[in-house]
Structure 1
Amino acid sequence: MEDSIFIHELRGKTIENIHHASVCVVDEMKKVIFSKGNMTLPVFYRSSMKPIQAILPFSIGIEQKYSLTPEEMALTFASQRGEYYHQERLESLMGKLEINEGQLICPPAYPANEKPKEDCIRRGGQKRRLFHTCSGKHLAFIATAREKNWSTVGYHLLEHPLQQEIKKVVAQFADMNEHQLIVEVDGCGVPVYAMPLKNLAISYLEFVSPTIGNNQLQQVLGSIKTVASMHCEYVSSFGYLSTTLLEDKNIFAKAGAEGVVCLALKAEKLGLAFKIFSGTELILPSLIAKVLEELDYQNKETIEKLYQLHKNPVYNSKNTQAGTIQVKL
């Protein structure tokens, strides 16, 4: 791909894998100030869309009506990993919202993280819809449909009023017309949208440099950012990319599957979007760290944490250095 970022994984001095990536950074005027790679190829949000999908549930006041905790609200836009603290809050969220687990259309799954998954299997536990990494979002969707007097049946279908409302919000945040959005089905069964990388970056810019909506919308966005920052371990899990980024109070971010991340820098008023086209997620931290260095980002601790997420140099199972990762901007 012309002008792509090349990420080389070396075993010793020999290139073993090559990944192509693109990145786009926009300023508060929605002007591209840094870009590499293909800026026209459509990129799916995947789970990076969850904070935007959460705007409607946050807007209708389910937090107040059902006395939801900030941790429970964080789960409404999380890619939770099935840790015990996730499971406990998900059970509480489902109970408070008076939703039956069978209403969720996301498929049954084991907890995503290895330890709770092994424990579940060891004690004879079964896969559950509540363990699915997107279950909190689905609980919020059902509650929102009910509060809006829409049918909760088929809440995941594009023609459902809930998904039509979300589509409008996505287009508005991405600075696009609805007919320009490419729509397909995400891994958990709900609509997911694709667009050029610049528009993904613009949509996250809205969280830190708003140009649309009224005071109520700004309060909602503030609530989402606060919950994500204060309870980042519920958005994903310690040691994972989204949580590591959110530990920096100046960053609002959400990672998605297949090598996608969207984030915003609050003080700098910048929106950023990343895509690795091989779909790998392991080397995303190194790519983000390299771009933050290029932008002269001041929080060096965050950059170092990102490099440590996927250690570079790379060590083998005998703890011997086996290779390195090189990001070539």
Structure 2
Amino acid sequence: MSTTIQPIEVRLLRGSIVESIHRVHAVVCDSKGRVLMGAGNTNYETFIRSALKPFQVIPFINSGTVEKTSCSDKSIAIACGSHSGTTLHAREGFRILWNSEIEVDALKCPIPEGRKSRLEHNCSGKHAAFLATCKKMNWPLENYLEVDHPLQKEIFRRVSDLLRIPSDEFVVARDDCGAPTLKLSISQMALLYAQLSNSQNADLEQVNRAITSNPILLAGNESFDTELIMRAHGQLISKGGAEGIQCLGRNGEGMGIAIKVEDGSKRAKHAVALHLLKQLDWLTPTRLQELQEKNLCLNTGVQLEVHGELRFQENTLNSE
């Protein structure tokens, strides 16, 4: 059952005049899929985009590829990352390929505009892990992004197990990097991040540890996800996606948050994420203030205001 209450609004003020308004849907779930709190439509459906990466990396781990290729938690972190294409990031992606004896040209992600290598694409780590897994499993390398490829089918199977729904119900589309992404409700996204943070799944625990130990590889200096994870000192997981997607998890408690900004605004999703972390008391006031200064700094005379809050819910998603 879809539950709709008042969405959160992010207003951009120029002086005292409201210039823009962003409508935002948000939900908090536990690891059993129970919807605990929400704002707006808690079953709003959209593509999860890059917030899917911590789950797309699962076959890289449970196929034994990480061990066989002498990769490390850094390799897992870069595979989950939407990185900034620095030398550090490109080197970690290259390490996966080198250890697997795969040429860089095998990557199917595009070369970013103004760059020279596919390794500088923000999804190169994910693609490198895809290829390494395919080689370990003797799956074809040349079409690893196709929906019916064994790798993608395995990813869909793993996600369907976590969500407890048949994989043939997924609506699949191509992300900007060429890899498949899934259309999910934000409640399903929050459930995934609740499970990522509850320490009860060995593969997800390894993903979580890799990300929280190497936040610089997840995004980069000054990036929201990296800065938040660093300041939370291992208590929170954070991963954004394009078009206004932001997902978070409270480590050790198995609680996940998913946020969707209707118009896809990046500034609005970050503003709401910090607003909700304050409401839930998941981060200290000092750390919140630091993040607000780093991520919500606008021009002189321009400010963002967030109106609305999460409210407790009675409905559940796949509850037991």
Question: Could you tell me the TM-score, scaled by structure 2's length?
Answer: 0.89
Letter in 2 for 1:149: N
- Higher RCO, Cα 8 Å, sep 6+: 2
Match among 263, 275, 279 for residue 290 of structure 1? 275
CA RMSD of aligned residues (A): 1.9
Distance of 1:230 and 1:210 partners within structure 2: 15
Distance of 1:268 and 1:219 partners within structure 2: 16
Change beyond 3 A, Cα 1:170–1:302: farther
Alignment deviations for residues 238-265 of structure 1 (CA, whole Å, 9 cap, x no partner)? 2111112221211122111111011110
Give the structure 2 partner of residue 12 of structure 1. 15
Verify the 8 A CA contact 1:283 1:310 in the aligned structure 2.
no
Give the structure 2 partner of residue 115 of structure 1. none
Cα deviation for residue 267 of structure 1 reads 3.6
Verify: 1:231 aligned to 2:210, yes or no: no
Alignment deviations for residues 59-118 of structure 1 (CA, whole Å, 9 cap, x no partner)? 1222222222432331111111112211232333322221112211111115xxxxxxxx
Verify the 8 A CA contact 1:106 1:138 in the aligned structure 2.
yes
Letter in 2 for 1:324: Q
Verify: 1:242 aligned to 2:231, yes or no: no
Change beyond 3 A, Cα 1:42–1:128: same
Distance of 1:102 and 1:68 partners within structure 2: 20
Distance of 2:302 and 2:128 partners within structure 1: 43
Letter in 2 for 1:326: E
Verify: 1:59 aligned to 2:62, yes or no: yes
Letter in 2 for 1:104: L
Give the structure 2 partner of residue 198 of structure 1. 187
Cα deviation for residue 300 of structure 1 reads 2.8
Distance of 2:294 and 2:166 partners within structure 1: 37
Match among 240, 247, 261 for residue 255 of structure 1? 240
Distance of 1:304 and 1:282 partners within structure 2: 16
Distance of 2:252 and 2:203 partners within structure 1: 19
1:138-153 matches, cutoff 5 A? 138-153=127-142
Letter in 2 for 1:235: L
Greater Cα shift, 72-81 or 229-238? 72-81
Verify: 1:175 aligned to 2:160, yes or no: no
Give the structure 1 partner of residue 77 of structure 2. 74
Change beyond 3 A, Cα 1:185–1:6: same
Unaligned 5+ segments in structure 1 are 111-120, 212-217
Give the structure 1 partner of residue 178 of structure 2. 189
Verify the 8 A CA contact 1:244 1:305 in the aligned structure 2.
no
Letter in 2 for 1:323: V
Letter in 2 for 1:328: H
Unaligned 5+ segments in structure 2 are 309-320
Give the structure 1 partner of residue 145 of structure 2. 156
Distance of 1:44 and 1:271 partners within structure 2: 17
Letter in 2 for 1:309: K
Give the count of matched residue pairs. Answer: 303
Question: Could you tell me the TM-score, scaled by structure 1's length?
Answer: 0.86
1:267-306 matches, cutoff 5 A? 267-306=252-291
Percent identity (aligned): 27
Verify the 8 A CA contact 1:175 1:199 in the aligned structure 2.
no
Give the structure 1 partner of residue 205 of structure 2. 222
Alignment deviations for residues 211-247 of structure 1 (CA, whole Å, 9 cap, x no partner)? 7xxxxxx332222111111110011102111112221
Distance of 2:106 and 2:296 partners within structure 1: 41
Cα deviation for residue 273 of structure 1 reads 0.4
Verify the 8 A CA contact 2:75 2:92 in the aligned structure 1.
yes
Give the structure 2 partner of residue 132 of structure 1. 121
Q: Secondary structure at the match of 2:196?
A: coil
Greater Cα shift, 52-61 or 289-298? 289-298
Change beyond 3 A, Cα 1:222–1:28: closer
